[in-house]
């Protein structure tokens, strides 16, 4: 009986380069920003791209994205990192077919990472010209983040350790892209057991008035808090 060649070891089976990419988001000055670096070489020289690069032969995707990010930002500053999606369009890279797996990373707003000269923050609603399909990948990351803000506690990864409800509302508004009220946000998050009061008060502002109570997230580990919840934009009238 002749030997059978497995399809997995067939010399005709194509092998494609694989990249790990990262969409790193942070709320800065009241707006949600994404981290991009300017390409110096073709293709797409001069345009902006997501941090990332080739997957090495003995490397996992998670290790690869960590290595790629380490050249742009301190990985320890990411409060959350999760796999987002894989892109396999044969024509996404004009040089040759390349598969890319993207990750979503979040950095709390109280941090100010030191970035290399070729890297900068850009508002996600006003991105510059991007390379490959990276603008579309950012859009996918936004969709994922906005969905998870409805049914998980993922906002802990965008918020400082301690905050007022007004400050937390600004983070939600920046990430969601539409208005939410502080009263409703406080009611929903407290009912779900996501927040807890610290027992402390914020320092009074210049205008004086009653100091705001300070809160923190109960846990900084991602949890599903309401699997059927949906945060919807206000109805236009």
pLDDT at 13: 66
- Domain spanning 17-149: which superfamily? Nucleoside Triphosphate Pyrophosphohydrolase (3.90.79.10)
pLDDT, tens digit, 9 for 90 and up, residues 43-83: 999 999 999 999 999 999 999 999 999 999 999 999 999 99
What DSSP string runs through the chain?
------GGG-TTS----EEEEEEEEEEETTEEEEEEEE--SSSSTTSEE-SEEEPPTT--HHHHHHHHHHTTS-GGG-SEEEEEEEE--TTSSSSS--EEEEEEEE--TT------TTEEEEEGGG---BSTTHHHHHHHHHHHHHHHHHHB-GGGGTS-SSEEHHHHHHHHHHHHSS---HHHHHHHHHHTT-EEEEEEEPPPBTTB-SPPEEEEES-SS--BS-TT----PPPP-
* Average pLDDT score over the chain: 92
Q: How confident is the model at residue 93 (pLDDT cuts 50, 70, 90)?
A: very high
Domain map of the chain by residue range? 17-149, 151-217
Q: What is the CATH number of domain 151-217?
A: 1.10.10.10
């Amino acid at each position: 009986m002749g030997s059978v060649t497995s399809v997995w070891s067939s010399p005709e089976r194509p092998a494609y380069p694989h990249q790990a990419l990262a969409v790193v988001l942070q709320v800065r000055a009241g707006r949600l920003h994404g981290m991009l670096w300017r390409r110096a070489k073709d293709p797409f020289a001069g345009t902006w791209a997501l941090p990332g690069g080739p997957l090495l032969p003995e490397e996992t995707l998670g290790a690869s994205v960590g290595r790629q990010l380490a050249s742009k930002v301190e990985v320890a500053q990411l409060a959350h990192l999760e796999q987002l999606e894989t892109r396999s369009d044969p024509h996404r890279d004009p040089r040759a077919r390349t598969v890319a797996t993207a990750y979503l990373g979040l950095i709390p707003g109280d941090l100010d990472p030191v970035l290399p000269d070729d890297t900068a923050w850009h508002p996600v609603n006003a991105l510059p010209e991007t390379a490959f399909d990276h603008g579309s990948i950012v859009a996918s990351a936004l969709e994922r983040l906005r969905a998870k803000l409805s049914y998980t506690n993922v906002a802990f990864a965008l918020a400082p350790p301690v905050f007022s409800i007004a400050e937390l509302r600004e983070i939600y508004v920046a990430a969601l892209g539409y208005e939410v009220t502080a009263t409703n946000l406080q009611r929903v998050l407290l009912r779900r057991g996501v927040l807890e009061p610290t027992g402390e008060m914020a320092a009074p502002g210049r205008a004086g008035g009653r100091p705001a109570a300070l809160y923190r997230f109960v846990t900084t580990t991602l949890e599903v808090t309401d699997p059927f919840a949906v945060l919807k934009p206000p109805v236009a009238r």
